[in-house]
Structures are given as structure tokens and as C-alpha cells.
Structure 1
Amino acid sequence: MVVLMSQTSSISGASDTQVPDPRRWLTLATVALAQLMVVLDATVVNIALPAAQKDLDFTNGERQWIVTAYSLAFGSLLLLGGRMSDLIGRKRAFIIGLIGFAAASALGGAAQSFGMLVGARALQGVFGALLAPTALSVLTTTFTIPKERARAFGVFGAIAGAGGAIGLLLGGFLTQDLSWRWNLYINVVIAIIAVIGATIFVHTPKRQGARPKLDVPGTLLVSAALFSLVYGFSNAESDGWNSPLTWGFLGGAGVLLIGFVIWQRAASHPLLPLHIVVNRNRGASYASVTIAGAGMFGIFLFLTYYIEEILRFDPIKTGVSFLPMIGMLVLAAQLSTNVFLPRFGPKIMVPFGMTLATVGMFLLTRLSVDSTYAGNILPALLVLGFAMGSIMPASIQTATLGVDREHAGVASAMVNTSQQVGGSIGTALLNTIAATALTSYLTAHAPTSHTAAAIAQATANAAVHSYTTAYWFGAAFFAFGAILSALLFRRRGHGGSHVAAPGQETHHAQHSAAEPAEPAEPVIAH
């Protein structure tokens, strides 16, 4: 049995005196359900889009706003949502987020027009920005025993990594056998169960000290910056990188982010205390989540296209084809958090996962129009599942470890923000790269015959070429992530992994502009 003993007596002593919440595992089930709802929503709505477009009669150009409306609201308000959970209490914020998300989903499911559906999706994003970081911060403050915390974050990380693939399966079933509207109505069912669980099981400790104040200027700066960043990448996906709107919003995001950092250094009640981000392990974790989010986009989007368009799988069969990846991800997440992370730390586990993901993406670059699922896709999915199960739980757990209780919400929000920004970057870059590769291939390999069969074959070859080109860049993302995480995460014995429970971060570090001092490395004894 592995026993973790801190070399810092004040921290180990504080841990020993804390009494674990007897309802903590039921709290985990409730939080996991809420997280699954948020993660599922993005994928199931994508599956429902063609049917919704036909039913509500909107154009291909308008279609992107069903996705963009959500991502803009969600991405720009995440830090505010995380801070609100610190201000009004995590249980209250959690329940408000659940009810609001369910109401917005019901509105979208009942939509009779394009505008109504877009408005409902934006409203989903608003409440999702409150719900997602609150769910993670509830987990952060509930599990204070290192071994149990590892198990809890293993479950949470597995859901964060596998939710998209589960959404493909669920979305295919709902769209094919029921209606596209049930891709939104299903959230109401999940939210009702989660609200009941939150009311009974989620516990919010009493606040100690004065209630913190909301940093209004900081909130406006970072919300505008994140809005501009997400919109800029979304515009690049639709209008291209030469669009003035693309570079205008991306440049504006850079200016606003610089202004936000300057203000946070001077603010008496900063929205995002900079010690949270400049801590090397947390900074490395946020960077790893961003890179993994960007790389994972290529797996789900382009592989879904390949399976449906080249292999001719129906939506349900396409969803089922991702199940082996989910199973491997869940297995890896449990092994990582319970066995490998306590022993080796994030400096080994995250680069290992990134390297494995690079191998998985390389396997996908070998696909052709004649490839098979069992012989070519399944091995890559198994490798990628184990890779993501090694990256996500370790990064998420390290990103929230040792954060003071009053900052748990905003620190958790940074995890979601990193994932959202990574997804936006991946969407814009990989879609642009794939579209360019498709055009170039068709230009260079125009069919010599104008028969329908020759044109179809050339189109299929071009599509596969565009997908494999995107996989090469996805592999480059993960390779860069392996190098960066290996350089940034601290070595064992240098603060690389400590066991301080939330709320036990050293106070002298909290107000330092430099990198804060960290608890000593725990000793692992058998």
C-alpha cells in the first residue's frame, strides 16, 4: 500500500485534522453527471445539426452560429463563472448552473426558428460557464485525502476526455431513432437528476473571513479578451485567415489580455490572482490541457467524417466505433491517477501521454480509402485512448492542487478556459489546413475521366488526403506538448507533486508576483 507523507509538517498536520465528507462519493457522482452533460452537449448538437437545419430551414452559412453562439458565451464567461462560484457559494452556483442549463436546453429543443435556437445555445453557454468550473471546484474542495482525490480526479478526467466520444454515440441514437430535438431535451433529464443529487449530497463549507469582492474591471477585460479570441478563431474557420475580422479580433484579444494581466497585478481583489497561473506546475497543466484540446479536435471531427463518408457507417455505428477508445481512456485514467501519478508525478505522466498521442495520430496518417476499421482505425483509437487517459486526469488534478478554497472556482475555470481555447484553436487551424489540402489535392489530381465514378473516387481520395494532413498537424501539436510539458513541469523533489489539500496553500505565496513557494515533495513509502 502506498502511503504519502509530506515533509512539510504544517501541511501534513492540516490534512490529518480534516474530516472527509461522508457523502463525498455521492457528490462525485453528482458532479460527474453535470460534467458529462456539459461535455456531451457539444458533440450531440453537432450530430443533430443536419436534421435541425432541414427542419428549421437555415443556410450552411448560418449553421456555424449554432456552435459559435455557445462557444462564444461559454468561453468568454468561464472565468467570471468560476469566480461567481467563489462569491455566492459552490452549491448555490452549481444548482443555478444546472437549472439554467436545463431551461436553455428545453428552449432550444422547442425552437421553431433559427434565431430561437441560436439564442438558446448562447444561453446554454452562459450557464455552462457557471456550471463547468463550479463542478470542478466542488470536487477540488470535497476530496482532500490524496489517494481519494486521485480516484475522484481519475473519474472526472476520464469524463472530460471521453465525453465527446460518448456524445457521438448518444447523438447518433437520438437523431436516428427519435428527433434532433432530443439532443437538447436529454439535458433536462440529466439536470433534474443532478439537481436532486446536488441538493442532498453537495456540501459547501462555511466561509471564513470576509466575502471577497468581484473585480469588475478585470471581469470586463478578460471576458472581452476571451470573446475576441474565440470569435477570431471561429471567424478564421468560416472566412479564412485573410479576413480583417479574424486578425482584428485576435489582435484585440492580445491587447485586452495584456491589459488584464496589468490590472490583475494592481487590483486589490483580482479576478484571477496571478500566483495561480505563474505557478510552474499549474501553468504547465493549463498549457497541456490547451494542447490536448487542440489535438483531440482532429480525432473526433475528421475521424467521424472518415468513418461515415469513406467506411459508410451509420451514425449509431459511428458512435459505437469510438467505444474502445473510451474504454481504454477510462482504464488509463484510473491507472494514471491511482498508480502512476503518485509514483512518477506529472513531469513523467503528461509527456508520456503526449508522446503516446503523437504515435496515435501518426497511425491515423496511414489511413487510405481502402483502410479498415479493425486493421487501421482500432489500433490508433486504443493508443489515443490510453494517451488521453494519461494526460487529462494528471493535468486537471495538478492544475487545482493546493489552491486556496477562496480561489478554487477561478482556478477550476482556468482548466475549462484552457480546454475551450484549445478547441477553438484546433477547430480553426485544422479545418483551414484540411480545406487547403483538399483543394490542392483536387487541383493536382484532377480526374482524367468525367464519369460519376471517377469524380467520386477523386473526391474520396482528396478527402482522405485532407484528413491525414490534419492528423500530421495534430501529431505535431502533441509532439510540441510532450516537449513543453517535459520542460515546464517540476522534477520530483522540486515541488513536482505535493499533497496539500485545497485551502492549505502557503499564504505568503498567494500575494507574490513571482512564482510562489511550494510545499516540499512528498515522500512515497511502501
Structure 2
Amino acid sequence: MRRSAADDHIPDDHVPTAVPPAGDEPDPRRWIVFAVVGVAFLMIALDQTSVATALSTLQEDLGADLAWTGWTITIYSVGQILALPLAGRLSDQFGARRLFLGAIAVFTVVSLLCGLSANLGQLVVCRFLEGLAGGALLPSATAIVAAQFGRDRDRAIALFSSVFPIGAILGPLLGGVLLTVFSWRAIFLVNLPVGIALLLLGSLLIRELPRSRPGPVDIGGIALMLVLLVAAMVAITGIGSVTSGWAGLLAVAVPAVVSAVAAALFLRHITHHPHPVVPLQLLAGRHLGAINLANVLFGSAAIGFSALVPHYAQVRYGIVPIAAGALLTARAIGMISTSWIAVALLRRLGHRPLLIVGMGTVATGLALTALPPIGMSAEAWLFISAAVMGLGMGVAAPATNNAGMHLVPDQASAASGLRTMFRQTGAILAVSVTTAVTSASADPGTANAIAFAALAAVTVVALVVAARVPNHRGRW
């Protein structure tokens, strides 16, 4: 089944093994259950895409610099990355229904805590927990949909995957409205009534699925990933303090060393562990290294854009939050409008031509975003730039989703998980570096523009790397 163009954010293809065999009759209540699970997915999507509009407001209200405020976005991605290896196995062991309802309960409670946070440290911790809950919800939700629809599960999951693009359109607008009318706290508190309703309806309507005996969980590998990512984020965030003497240098050097040591230990761990969290053969073998690198670079540009452009519009041009959020809506509309064309052409042309056209268009959109407006208002210029970016993502995303899958058809699920992990890692690096440099700059708007130009260059590099992967036409 071909993936939607919006899955660069959400790992919606980790279906646990406890799914009824093909040929099962669809459940009579399947559409009601689908609505419950779909609203849960939409809640996660809205929360993820609306927070980007609040960076400037969070920076002012919580008295933190932008480098640390950006953690409200990056730490959420860290939580999702760590949840991925665990969620499928937990769903197998305890049941998809229990995991789904548990994830909703945790997400709802933590949303309340986010809204009540008194300082940035509390908010960052709560966002990490939100990321864990959001990452845990997705595999169980997919398994529930598959079980409810029986032999029609392929179409149902395809429809389910279309929920995130809706959230990508509505989330930034919702965030802008809530910021304009209420405050940033409303972005999180709005989840409370929705979460409570989902818990009640899910408890009544969703049946438990058969369980299976899960494989071992690589806790050591997950722990090393956490140390590696967080230490790297701390080092990057401290870039602005390097000029403040020895203390500033140590603030960068110590976590950088810790991250490097964790990376070395992680590579050693996955080499010797019988069931590593990241299979070594999927990291570098059979052109997969080039695909993984391309996904890191593509994630840094594509997902990084989503997190950074609303703040950029506000600090460089003084655009109000609701209009800044609309820029992401323009990108989402552009992405949806071309993704179906790319999916239709994928089997005929293969992934390489679509990658070249799509990533080239993404680079163009990023370059336009970095340039000052020409002959029009800043709002119109950025809206067009974001739409161009979206058009390119709509073409490139289905191609990057399928690139290399024919090399490991028997490990498609693991390869899909790595794709999501590497894209999120790229986004973490892009947001961390950009917010750190912008925070240390005397002219944040110009510094942010230079960052978008750098992301355009990164996308060109990703295009060159991805184009080296052998093209493949037809099914895999």
C-alpha cells in the first residue's frame, strides 16, 4: 500500500502483529470506532502542528531565549522516536485497546500539565511525555482500524492516514486563533474535553484484539538513543554561550562529548545485541545508508520548515500569529494537491524522477522563504513560498517513502520505522541549530533567513544523495 504524503511527521505504519487474518468480516460498528480512533489521531496532529505558532509567545511569557523554547518542539520528537520501538511490542503484549486508551489517558493528563506549566522546564518535561504518548497511540490505533475493517483493512488504513493532512491544515490555524483570543495555554487545555470524551467512547466501543507474544525490547539501545539525542540537543542549545568564557565552552563541550560517547556505545551495542532497536543491516547495507542520510536531510528541511516558519514570519515581518499559522496551512494544501499525482506516477516512473522534481521544488520554496518580498506584501510572499514548498513535498514524500523498500521487502515495517526516526532526527537537528543561532544573533530575522537558505542547500544535498539509490518501477 502506498503511503500518504504527510507521514513525514507521524509514524502511522507500525501495525502490531495482533491483526485478524485477511478475509475476516468487517465489524458492524467499524465506522463508529473509526470515528473515535480518527478523532484521537486528529487530536495528536492538531497538537503537534499548532505548537509551532506559539514559539514567540512562549519565549516572551516564560522568559526564556529561543534556543531553549525550541525544545518544546524537539523534545516532543525525541519522545516519539523513543516510543516507536516500544509501542508495537506493548500493543502485542497488553492489547491494542489497552495501549490506545492508556495513551489517550496519559496524553490528556499531560496536556493539562502543559497548560498549567509555570516555567519552560516543566513544559519541556511535559512535552516529552506528550511525545511518548502520541508515539504510543499510533500503532495501536492502526491495529484497531485494521481489526475493525477485516478484509477492507487496506482501504481503511489508507483513509486513516489521511487524517494527519487534515490536522496539518487545521492545526496552525487553530493555534493562531487560540493564541489571538486566549493564550498559548489554550493550545494544550483544548485537549482535555476531547481526551475525556475519547476515553469514555473508546472504553464502550472498542473491543480487545487478540494478543501475541512480543519479541524482546532493546531497553539498553533505547536508553543510549535518549542520551545521544538529548546530550546533542544540550550541546547545540549552548552554542550561543560559547563566547562567555570557559563556562560557556564547557556548556557545549561536555554534552558534546557525552553525545559522542553515547553514539559510539550505541553503534557497538547494535553490532552485538541479538535484537537491536535499530537493525545494523538496515543502517548502511545495499544503498540503505544513502536512503537514511537522505531522510535525515529531508526531515531537517521539510519538518524543520514546519517548526520554524511561523516564528520567522513573526520576528522578521511582524506577522500576527493567526496569519503566521496560515503559512503552514498553505504548505499542507500544496502538499495534498500534488501527492495524489505522485502516487499515481510512482509505479510508472519510479522514485528517482519524483525525488529530483520534488526536492528541487522544496529547495526553491525554502530559498524563496529566505529572500525578502518582491513586489508584494510579506504575507503574500511567504504564503506563495510555503505553497511552493508544499507542492514539492507532495511530490517528494511518496517517493522517499518507497525509495529502497524493494531492497528489503521482508523488512518493510522496520525500514519504515527507521525512515520516520531519521526524519525526526533531522528535524531535531535543524530546529536545535536554527533556534540556537537565531537566539545568539543580534538580528534574529536575518539569522532565520540565512537558516532557511542553508536548509535549501541541505535539500539539494539530499536530492543528490537520494538520486544515487537505484531506481525501481512497479510494485515492491
Shift of 1:99: 1.6
Match of 2:360 in 1: 355
* Structural mapping, 1:406-417, within 5 Å: 408=413, 413-417=417-421
Shift of 1:105: 0.8
In structure 2, distance between residues paired with 1:84 and 1:199: 18
Match of 1:365 in 2: 370
Q: Pick from 357, 360, 382: which aligns with 1:377?
A: 382
Answering whether residue 323 of structure 2 is matched by residue 317 of structure 1, we say yes
Contact 1:71 1:125 survives alignment (8 Å)? yes
Match of 1:158 in 2: 165
Structure 1 residues 239 and 123: CA distance shift in structure 2, 3 A: same
Answering whether residue 192 of structure 2 is matched by residue 188 of structure 1, we say yes
Quick one: which amino acid aligns to residue 212 of structure 1? P
* Structural mapping, 1:275-354, within 5 Å: 287-337=293-343, 339-354=344-359
Residues 400-457 of structure 1 deviation map (CA, whole Å, 9 limit, x = unaligned): 898779x95x665434422321111112333456568x56xxxxxxxxxxxxxxxxxx
In structure 2, distance between residues paired with 1:95 and 1:397: 31
Q: Which has the higher mean CA deviation after the structures are superposed, 468-477 or 373-382?
A: 373-382
Shift of 1:475: 1.1
Q: Pick from 255, 274, 278: which aligns with 2:264?
A: 255
Q: Which has the higher mean CA deviation after the structures are superposed, 197-206 or 298-307?
A: 197-206
Contact 1:282 1:400 survives alignment (8 Å)? no
* Structural mapping, 1:50-449, within 5 Å: 63=69, 66-67=72-73, 70-112=76-118, 116-135=122-141, 148=155, 151-152=158-159, 155=162, 158=165, 163=168, 166-192=170-196, 194-195=198-199, 206-207=210-211, 211-215=213-217, 218-240=218-240, 243-264=252-273, 267=274, 269-274=275-280, 287-337=293-343, 339-367=344-372, 372-373=377-378, 376-396=381-401, 408=413, 413-431=417-435, 438=441
In structure 2, distance between residues paired with 1:137 and 1:412: 16
Residues 329-374 of structure 1 deviation map (CA, whole Å, 9 limit, x = unaligned): 122233333x223433433433432122112222223325986246
In the alignment, structure 2 segments of 5+ residues that lack a partner are 1-20, 243-248
Residues 78-99 of structure 1 deviation map (CA, whole Å, 9 limit, x = unaligned): 3233443344333432222122
Structure 1 residues 140 and 256: CA distance shift in structure 2, 3 A: farther
Contact 2:348 2:473 survives alignment (8 Å)? no
Quick one: which amino acid aligns to residue 423 of structure 2? Q
Structure 1 residues 174 and 26: CA distance shift in structure 2, 3 A: same
Quick one: which amino acid aligns to residue 299 of structure 2? G
Shift of 1:170: 1.5
In structure 2, distance between residues paired with 1:425 and 1:228: 12
Contact 1:82 1:412 survives alignment (8 Å)? no
Contact 2:434 2:448 survives alignment (8 Å)? no
In structure 2, distance between residues paired with 1:351 and 1:369: 27
Contact 2:76 2:127 survives alignment (8 Å)? yes
Structure 1 residues 195 and 397: CA distance shift in structure 2, 3 A: farther
Contact 1:134 1:412 survives alignment (8 Å)? no
Structure 1 residues 176 and 468: CA distance shift in structure 2, 3 A: closer
Task: State how many pairs are aligned.
Answer: 445
Contact 1:34 1:194 survives alignment (8 Å)? yes
Shift of 1:134: 4.4
Contact 1:79 1:417 survives alignment (8 Å)? no
Structure 1 residues 138 and 231: CA distance shift in structure 2, 3 A: farther
Match of 2:448 in 1: 467
In structure 1, distance between residues paired with 2:472 and 2:191: 42
Quick one: which amino acid aligns to residue 180 of structure 1? W
Identity of aligned residues (%): 23
SS class of match (2:468): helix
Structure 1 residues 86 and 326: CA distance shift in structure 2, 3 A: same
Shift of 1:140: 8.0
Structure 1 residues 478 and 133: CA distance shift in structure 2, 3 A: farther
Structure 1 residues 465 and 414: CA distance shift in structure 2, 3 A: same
In structure 1, distance between residues paired with 2:164 and 2:402: 8
Contact 1:136 1:412 survives alignment (8 Å)? no
In terms of Rg, which structure is larger?
1
Note the aligned Cα RMSD (angstroms): 4.2
Contact 1:224 1:253 survives alignment (8 Å)? yes
Structure 1 residues 245 and 389: CA distance shift in structure 2, 3 A: farther
In structure 2, distance between residues paired with 1:399 and 1:100: 36
Shift of 1:195: 4.6
Contact 1:75 1:230 survives alignment (8 Å)? no
Contact 1:24 1:143 survives alignment (8 Å)? no
Quick one: which amino acid aligns to residue 179 of structure 2? T
Shift of 1:166: 4.1
In structure 2, distance between residues paired with 1:342 and 1:20: 30
In structure 2, distance between residues paired with 1:368 and 1:257: 46
In structure 2, distance between residues paired with 1:285 and 1:200: 43
Q: Give the TM-score of the pair, scaled to structure 1.
A: 0.69
Shift of 1:384: 0.8
In structure 2, distance between residues paired with 1:203 and 1:346: 39
Quick one: which amino acid aligns to residue 187 of structure 1? N
Contact 2:36 2:202 survives alignment (8 Å)? yes
Structure 1 residues 130 and 151: CA distance shift in structure 2, 3 A: closer
In structure 2, distance between residues paired with 1:342 and 1:153: 22
Structure 1 residues 377 and 396: CA distance shift in structure 2, 3 A: same
Q: Give the TM-score of the pair, scaled to structure 2.
A: 0.75
SS class of match (2:190): helix
Contact 1:133 1:413 survives alignment (8 Å)? no
Shift of 1:236: 0.6
In structure 1, distance between residues paired with 2:229 and 2:293: 16
Structure 1 residues 342 and 99: CA distance shift in structure 2, 3 A: farther
Structure 1 residues 58 and 358: CA distance shift in structure 2, 3 A: closer
In structure 2, distance between residues paired with 1:371 and 1:318: 16
